[in-house]
């Protein structure tokens, strides 16, 4: 087993062995959620703080439940209704909370690098729940876990990520993690939503959803961020849905055992139709279930399995 | 310096004796559940179940991953999990036999009991082991055991099983001066 880190800030800096350690640990925690008493005492009495400066239901609830399943105490902080509206800085906020005696911050923030800044400013463990468009490591991990669970491996698989790649931290984390484990990644979408030069990451680029569907083992469909439409990255939502939307009809020409994934929340009828979302190839709900086990693994590993241990170089 | 050694034949004999002990418990065989502590205790529990099956009794086996219940998680770095706990049967009202390779400090057995209590309410809990060390740290003792080992701090008792280690043997190493 390979784990000496106190923080999880992104997948870019992790080795393949470290990622595998997280996945294997998650596999061992999977059954806790199926028990009638859904708890193990591993983090009893430790305190995990959700520091969410951006809206979230899925991720914040998933982390809170994961902490509780490990018997940790949880605390939640959201931007509205806090002193941030009075001008208190991120670091001050965290230091003040840490002064009450906490062990781990789970942070979501709109600024890339916010999690790293926090990790360098506090004594507690820090887990990145999304820092701007930079990384969302636990989403990448649960996506990879879901693929491994369904396909038995990552190495050699062809994984396509479709949608607003340019603004997507989910895409970035997936790209880093999948490539380290040997998958071949293709990003697809309108050219206005795919960063120029992304080929330097070792990914292929496509603007043809049908071509991508025909050759992929996995398709990870990203949410089209409708609120960004006023920037006119594509002419209309209807046109996006027509050209890139994954419909049952398009899916029928894909590999029979293709895996359909979506990090949520879905815009049913835009990037994905209800039939596909609820269909046999979809593992979207499985992703959510796996997210619990993956986050339990991340908290367990970063918090030293119980003791903070000595701070280590991250 | 490696000391006393028990071999595969001894392990086989003890497995048979543990099966005798299980069948001598004050319950019907149908009310027994074997709970093997991963990793080697689980292998032993499977062997015990096979022995009991050969005598006509199908006894279910649960596999316990006690790692999240350990009392030393705060020391010495993060501990790798062992695959999670597999318990597909109810243990309410059953006689649950915790099976482990070596009973040392008693802390693993304590953790195993806490784990069982999270799953239900066994009527009786027993502890079977191949070897029981004499240097216990908690007031816990085995109900059926192959052999006792006179050991002190620094001594090691290791059970190797073919499932994990490729060979069946018990190796006892006493520290210099012990």
Instruction: Flag if B84 and A301 touch (Cβ within 8 Å).
Output: no
Instruction: Flag if A30 and B84 touch (Cβ within 8 Å).
Output: yes
**pLDDT value for A230:** 64
What pTM value is reported for the model? Answer: 0.94
Residues of chain B below pLDDT 50: none
**pLDDT value for A62:** 97
- SS3 for B45? helix
Instruction: Flag if B74 and A304 touch (Cβ within 8 Å).
Output: yes
Contacts of A135 (CB under 8 A, 6+ apart): A9, A10, A11, A12, A128, A169, A172, A173, A176
Three-class secondary structure assignment of chain A: CCCCCCCECCCCCCCHHHHHHHHHHHHHHHHHHHCCCCCCCCCCCCEEEEEECCCCCHHHHHHHHHHHHCCCEEEEEECCCCHHHHCCCHHHHHHHHHCCCCCEEEEEECCCCHHHHHHCCCCCEEEEEEECCCCCHHHHHHHHHHHHHHHCCCCCCEEEEECCCCCCHHHHHHHHHHHHCCCEEEEECCHHHCCCCHHHHCCEEECCHHHHHHHCCEEEECCCCHHHHHHCCCCCHHHHHHHHCECHHHHCCCCCCCEEECCCCCCECCCECHHHHCCCCECHHHHHHHHHHHHHHHHHHHCCECECCCCCCC
- SS3 for B129? strand
Give contacts of B 100-159 with A, CB under 8 A: 114, 118-119
**pLDDT value for A228:** 60
Instruction: Flag if A25 and B85 touch (Cβ within 8 Å).
Output: no
Residues of A engaging B, defined by a Cβ cutoff of 8 Å: 1, 3-4, 21, 24-25, 27-32, 35-37, 39-42, 70, 300-301, 304-307, 309
Tens digits of residue pLDDT in A125-149 = 999 999 999 999 999 999 999 999 9
Q: Which two tokens stand for residue A66?
A: 């994961």
pLDDT band at A57 (very low <50, low <70, confident <90, very high): confident
**pLDDT value for A23:** 98
Q: What is the mean pLDDT of residues A11-24?
A: 97
Instruction: Flag if B84 and A40 touch (Cβ within 8 Å).
Output: no
A contacts of B83 (beta carbons < 8 Å)? 27-28
Tens digits of residue pLDDT in A177-204 = 999 999 999 999 999 999 999 999 999 9
Give the ipTM: 0.91
DSSP secondary structure letter of residue B44:
H
User: Would you say residue A312 has pLDDT above 50?
Assistant: no
pLDDT: which is higher, A66 or A313: A66
Tens digits of residue pLDDT in A73-131 = 999 988 776 777 778 899 999 999 999 999 999 999 999 999 999 999 999 999 999 99
Interface test with A, best of B84, B86, B91, B114 (most A CBs within 10 A): B84
| Residues B62, B46: Cα–Cα separation, whole Å | 9
User: Would you say residue A310 has pLDDT above 80?
Assistant: no
């Amino acid at each position: 087993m390979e784990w000496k880190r106190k923080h999880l800030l992104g997948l870019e800096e992790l080795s393949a062995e470290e990622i595998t350690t997280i996945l294997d640990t998650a596999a061992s925690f999977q059954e806790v959620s199926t028990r009638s008493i859904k708890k193990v005492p591993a983090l009893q009495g430790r305190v995990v703080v959700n520091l969410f400066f951006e809206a979230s239901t899925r991720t914040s609830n998933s982390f809170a439940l994961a902490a509780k399943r490990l018997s940790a105490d949880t605390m939640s902080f959201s931007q509205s209704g806090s002193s941030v509206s009075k001008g208190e800085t991120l670091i001050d906020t965290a230091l003040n909370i840490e002064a009450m005696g906490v062990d781990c911050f789970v942070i979501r923030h709109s600024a890339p690098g916010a999690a790293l800044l926090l990790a360098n400013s506090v004594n507690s463990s820090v887990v990145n729940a999304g820092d701007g468009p930079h990384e969302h490591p636990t989403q990448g991990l649960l996506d990879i876990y879901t693929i491994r669970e369904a396909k038995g491996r990552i190495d050699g698989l062809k994984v396509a990520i479709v949608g607003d790649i340019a603004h997507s931290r989910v895409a970035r984390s997936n790209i880093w993690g999948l490539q380290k484990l040997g998958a071949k990644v293709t990003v697809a979408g309108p050219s206005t939503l795919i960063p120029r030069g992304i080929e330097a990451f070792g990914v292929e680029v496509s603007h043809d959803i049908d071509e991508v569907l025909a050759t992929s083992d996995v398709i990870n469909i990203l949410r089209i961020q409708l609120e960004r439409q006023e920037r006119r990255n594509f002419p209309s939502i209807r046109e996006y849905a027509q050209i890139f939307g994954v419909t049952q009809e398009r899916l029928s020409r894909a590999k029979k055992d293709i895996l359909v994934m979506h990090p949520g929340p879905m815009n049913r009828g835009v990037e994905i139709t209800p039939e596909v979302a609820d269909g046999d190839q979809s593992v979207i709900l499985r992703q959510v279930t796996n997210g619990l086990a993956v986050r339990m693994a991340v908290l367990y590993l970063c918090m030293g399995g119980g003791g903070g241990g000595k701070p280590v170089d991250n | 310096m490696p000391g006393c050694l028990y071999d595969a034949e001894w392990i086989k004999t003890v497995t048979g004796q543990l099966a005798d002990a299980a069948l001598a418990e004050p319950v019907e065989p149908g009310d027994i559940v074997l709970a093997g502590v991963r990793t080697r205790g689980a292998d032993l529990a499977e062997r015990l179940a096979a022995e009991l099956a050969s005598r006509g009794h199908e006894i279910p086996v649960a596999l316990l991953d006690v790692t999240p219940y350990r009392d030393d998680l705060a020391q010495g770095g993060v501990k790798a999990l062992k695959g999670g706990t597999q318990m597909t049967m109810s243990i309410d009202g059953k006689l649950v036999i915790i099976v482990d390779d070596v009973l040392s400090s008693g802390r693993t057995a304590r953790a195993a009991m806490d784990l069982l209590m999270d799953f239900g309410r066994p009527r009786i809990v027993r502890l079977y082991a191949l070897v029981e060390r004499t240097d216990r740290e908690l007031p816990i003792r085995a109900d059926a055991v192959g052999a006792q080992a006179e050991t002190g701090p620094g001594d090691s008792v290791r059970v190797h099983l073919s499932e994990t280690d490729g060979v069946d043997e018990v190796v006892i190493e006493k520290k210099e001066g012990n």
